[in-house]
Amino acid sequence: MGYVCLHCGKKVKTIGPNFIRCPYCGYRVLAKERSSLAREVSSD
């Protein structure tokens, strides 16, 4: 299961349970890829 960087929006693979960081921008706040952000945006 991957993560999505909330800063640049790129997919990030987890390196470890306590070491999750975006390799592209260094941002440390990531969202689980499962919970699609598209769903949140598109509200009927």
The reply to whether 21 sits near Zn ion by the rule CB under 5 A is no
Q: In sequence order, what DSSP letters do the residues of 1-44 get, joined into one string? A: --EEETTT--EE--SBTTB---TTT----EEESSS-HHHHH---
The reply to whether 8 sits near Zn ion by the rule CB under 5 A is yes
The reply to whether 30 sits near Zn ion by the rule CB under 5 A is no
Among residues 35 and 44, whose Cβ is nearest to Zn ion? Answer: 35
Applying CB under 5 A, among 11, 13, 15, 24 the residue interacting with Zn ion is 24
CB 12 within 8 A of CB 22: yes
Q: Which parts of this chain interact with Zn ion (CB under 5 A)?
A: 5, 7-8, 22, 24-25, 27
